[in-house]
Amino acid sequence: MNSAVFKECLDIFVVFLRIGALTFGGGYTMLPLLQADIAQKRKWASDEDIIDFYAISQSLPGIVAVNTSMLIGYKKRKIPGLISACLGMICPSIIIILVIALFIKNFLAMEIVGHAFNGIRVAVAALIVKTAFDMGKKCFVDGACVLIFAMALLVFTLVDISPAIPVVAGGITGIVLARRHLS
């Protein structure tokens, strides 16, 4: 591996290390960070790319956040980028969880931890709301899109199904609508 590729991979590793350390909860909580770090600041992938990668990741086996970061890493620097992104994403978890498990016996019973995390969760809620709006602005290109959104939201909120189902159903609807449009 030449030094330019190595430097680029190190860069990818560090960016995903930071994103991993700031993701609280499920894969969707990384989306505001991806928009800020990957799309706006570094332009490694567009907002639309990120939505697409996230959608693909929902339908693949494994952890959504890791799958999404690998697809972005690949777009930036092929296979070495994919592996750097994966390692960056999982390192904070390994380190933080092991430190807590080894040294801090009553982590959750600590009052200050509870208050801080309640504050963080409120911020994460606001970040996700903003992300949903930003994404809506980007992908509601016509009335059919709004309809797909409303249907998926209704079904996914009311029925306990895998997130892969709305993704696949949206894809099929997209193909059917495009076919009709063309004919």
Partner 1 sequence: MSIYLKLAVEFLKIGLFSVGGGLATLPFLYKLADSYDWFTRAMLIDMIAISESTPGPIGINMATYAGYSAAGVYGGILATLSLVFPSVVIALFITKAMDTFRDNGLVKSAFYGIRPAVTALIASAALGIMKIMLVNLENGLSADIFNAKRIALFAVMLYLMKKYNKHPVFYIGGAAIVGVALKL
- Which residues within the stretch 99-138 sit at the binding site for partner 1 (CB under 8 A)? 100-102, 107-108, 112-113, 115-132, 135-136, 138
Q: Which of 1, 103, 179, 183 binds partner 1 (CB under 8 A)?
A: 179
How far apart are CB 43 and partner 1 at their closest, in Å?
15
Of 16, 111, 143, 32, residue with least CA distance to 69: 16
- 14 part of the interface to partner 1, by CB under 8 A: no
How far apart are CB 127 and partner 1 at their closest, in Å?
6
Q: Which of 15, 31, 38, 45 binds partner 1 (CB under 8 A)?
A: 31
Q: How far apart are CA 68 and CA 64, in angstroms?
A: 6
- 48 part of the interface to partner 1, by CB under 8 A: yes
Q: How far apart are CA 75 and CA 46, in angstroms?
A: 11
- What's 162's DSSP letter? -
21 HSE (CA, 13 A, CB side):
11
Q: Which of 2, 141, 160, 183 binds partner 1 (CB under 8 A)?
A: 141
Locate 175 and state its tokens. 């193909």
